[in-house]
Amino acid sequence: MHEQAVAFFRDLQDRICAALEQVDGEAAFREDSWQRPGGGGGRTRVIENGAVFEKGGVNFSEVFGEFTPEFARQIPGDGLAFTATGVSLVIHPRSPLVPTVHANFRYLTHGSKAWFGGGGDLTPYYPFREDVVHFHKVWKRVCDAHPAVANYAQMKHDCDEYFFLKHRNEARGVGGIFFDYMDATDAAWAFVRDAGNAFLDSYLPIVQRRKGLSYTPQQRFFQEYRRGRYVEFNLIYDRGTVFGLKTDGRTESILMSLPPVVRYIYDYKPAPGTPEAELTDYWLKPHDWAAMSE
């Protein structure tokens, strides 16, 4: 299964990068191939300063070696030996009307234990209902096609819980699906392949609808402020960041998820009744998006 996963994730990286370059129409991904000192390596691909995407990364990695005894105790399995392969991506559009997106799909082994993890989630700054509903409906369709291993309601709930900034008492975005430690059965592998293939369907229609809309300097200001929440989550809570750093991964590849321009403003509060206030007052609260009409 490891070899199958490596081949699929490599191909998925290729297809996602090609589709994002096409929708941007101006910028191309640069690739850095790297080797991990303890075993394995990967391909980091970054797009910057495009017509649509201000910064984005789509990473493939295949690493192996041994955990430290301390870290091994925190991961399901036994012994110290591990393998890990997967694709991880974060896309930060230039326009505040086009949402940031994150997705990752991975396969890991630790001694006698093997599992899949991953998901996709959306972080809009000025949400459109049809975009949020579309994103969730795509993931629900994927889950519904694999009822033996995937439950959309549970994975949505887990996503809402995982991408939550406890120190802010607010969600990072409008969620999607999240799963981890899914036993590596054939049924799970079929679900992961379908989920990986569904990413472009979940996101590209949103980009196409919003990329040509005009926006104001004030909206750009708010986007840069809200990007700070993305930084906080990735540096404090994100399991992928912790895993990469704990296993001596390539730091530049791990931190490629951070946005290029961010504002930190002391005790900023949007005016009541504005779209900026509505983001946290309504959109970042849990809702059954997939049950709504686009």
The answer to whether the beta carbons of residues 271 and 277 sit under 8 Å apart is yes
Sequence-separated (6 or more) residues with CB below 8 Å from residue 255: 234, 241
Q: At what angle do helices 129-144 and 152-162 cross, to 10 degrees?
A: 130
Using CA of residue 155, residue 156, residue 157, residue 158, what is the dihedral sign? positive
CB atoms under 10 Å from CB of 176, counted, come to 25
The answer to whether the beta carbons of residues 234 and 241 sit under 8 Å apart is yes
Identify the bridge partners of residue 177 per DSSP, sorted by sequence position. Answer: 120
Q: How far apart are CA 175 and CA 123, in angstroms?
A: 7
Question: Which tokens hold the place of 31?
Answer: 């690739």
Sequence-separated (6 or more) residues with CB below 8 Å from residue 50: 24, 25, 26, 27, 94
Reduced to 3 states (helix: H, G, I; strand: E, B; else coil), residue 111 is coil
* Residues with catalytic roles: 102
CB atoms under 10 Å from CB of 157, counted, come to 15
Q: Quote the longest CA-to-CA distance of the chain.
A: 55
Q: What are the backbone dihedrals phi and psi of residue 243, each rounded to the nearest 5 degrees, phi first?
A: -60, -45
Reduced to 3 states (helix: H, G, I; strand: E, B; else coil), residue 128 is coil
Using CA of residue 241, residue 245, residue 248, residue 252, what is the dihedral sign? positive
Tell me which H or E stretch contains 66.
strand 53-66
